[in-house]
Structures are given as C-alpha cells and as structure tokens.
Chains A and B, each alone.
Chain A
C-alpha cells in the first residue's frame, strides 16, 4: 500500500490550528483593529524601530516564521478539503496548489527574515 502523505499535512494543520486558536484573535485585534484605530495602544506600538528590532531578533524571527507558515498550512488544508463542500471535486492539481502556496509563503517569509538582517 502506498504510504499516505496525510500525517504530514495533518500535523502542520494541527500545529497551525493550535497556534491560531491561541494567538490569532489577539494578533488580528492588535495589528488590524486597535493599532490602526489608535485606541488601547500607544501610537508607536508598531513603529518602525520596534518592528525592525523584533524582526531582527532570533526569537522574533522564529515567532514570525511560525505564525506565517503554520497559519498558511492550517488555512490551505481547510480550504483544500472544504472545496468538496462547495461542490468542487478537487484533484491532485488543487492539492499541489494548496500546499505549494503554503510552502512558497514559508520560503518567502524565511528569505525576507534573512534579508531583514540580524
């Protein structure tokens, strides 16, 4: 029997699910709502020197890479399997596109984190 690739993708999906369940709501709330509106956050909360310092520290880099990569792998797994629910019977091409785009996003994030320096 051909070995299934499902455990790998389910692990990434599960890791992204746990991470998003823990931190995604507060991150969306901070970066997308209260910081732009300017309530409950000082104006310089996401200022360039702070953001750059965070992205240049190895802990910050690990956090950024884990967030972007695992959120993407979680989301594409759901979207890929959800296609069936909306009447799209996706084949191998859709699978490659789904997980491939998450992998591409991960590689771009890693490359940008190297570009931003240490």
Chain B
C-alpha cells in the first residue's frame, strides 16, 4: 500500500496569523473571565450567609493584588465583549422595523452601547448614593 502524502496545513496557533482571529479569541476568552467572576460572586453570596466576619473576609480577599489584577483583565475582556456584542446585534436581533423600514444597523449598535453606558451610570449611582 502506497502511503498518500497529502499536505495538511498545520492548525497550531491558527488564530495568531490574523488580527481578526486574535480579536475573535479575545472575545471568546472574555467568557472565561466572566465564568470566574460569576464564581467569585457565588462565593461572596455563600460567605454572606455565614455572617459578618465571613463577608468581611471575602471583601478582604478582593483587596489582594492578584484579585485586583484579575478584575482589571476581566474588565478589559468583558468590556470588549460588550462592545462586540452590540456590534453584531444588528445581525442577531430580530427584524426590527419602524414605519415599515428596517432600523438602521448603526442605530441598533448605538442603542445597545447607550444602554450599557446608561445602566453603568445607574448602577454606580445606586451603589454609591442609595
């Protein structure tokens, strides 16, 4: 039996060959940060059920430099995800029409980004002053 030597393009590091794929992988990686953040919140909720001392210990752990660094990376990647989410929203949203005309793509993206900014300001104000 003759071995057929077909060239198979190696796929290792495929996403580093093109900036488009690098951005894609950063967006996908944001989900790992989001999952870890969810678990951090879940642990916080668990500590809250154990009383004031446990809750204070959880808050104390969040001041660890490694925790701060993690949250900066999470903010960058999850923030980038939020931007890409609204960027593709015109493709994924149901057909939105106003007066029979489809809503312009930039209006959907802008609406989403304004929603993020508005929600962020609202949450900051509530946590800080209410």
> B-contacting residues of A (Cβ < 8 Å)?
14, 17-18, 20-33, 35-37, 40-42, 45-46, 48, 51-52, 55, 64, 67-68, 71-72, 74-79, 82, 85, 87, 105, 108-109, 112-113, 115-116
Contacts and interface: CB of A to CB of B under 8 A. Distances in A.
Contact of B119 (A26, A48, A72, A116): A26
Nearest to A105: B42
Interface of A: prevailing SS: helix
A52 B115 CA distance: 28
A45 B37 CA distance: 19
Interface residues of B, number: 50
A52 B45 CA distance: 9
Mostly helix, strand, loop or mixed at chain B's interface?
A: helix
Contacts, number: 147
Interface of B: 11-12, 15, 25, 28, 30-32, 34-35, 37-42, 44-46, 48-49, 52, 55-56, 59, 62-63, 67-68, 70-72, 74-75, 78-79, 81-82, 85-86, 92, 112, 115-116, 119-120, 123-124, 127-128
A24 B48 contact: no
Candidate in B25, B40, B85 with the most chain A CB atoms within 10 angstroms: B85
Contacts of B116: 21-23, 25
Given A24-B81, A28-B37, A78-B28, 18 more contacts: A21-B81, A21-B86, A21-B112, A22-B116, A24-B34, A28-B78, A32-B40, A36-B67, A48-B48, A48-B56, A64-B41, A64-B45, A71-B35, A75-B35, A79-B32, A85-B15, A112-B42, A113-B45
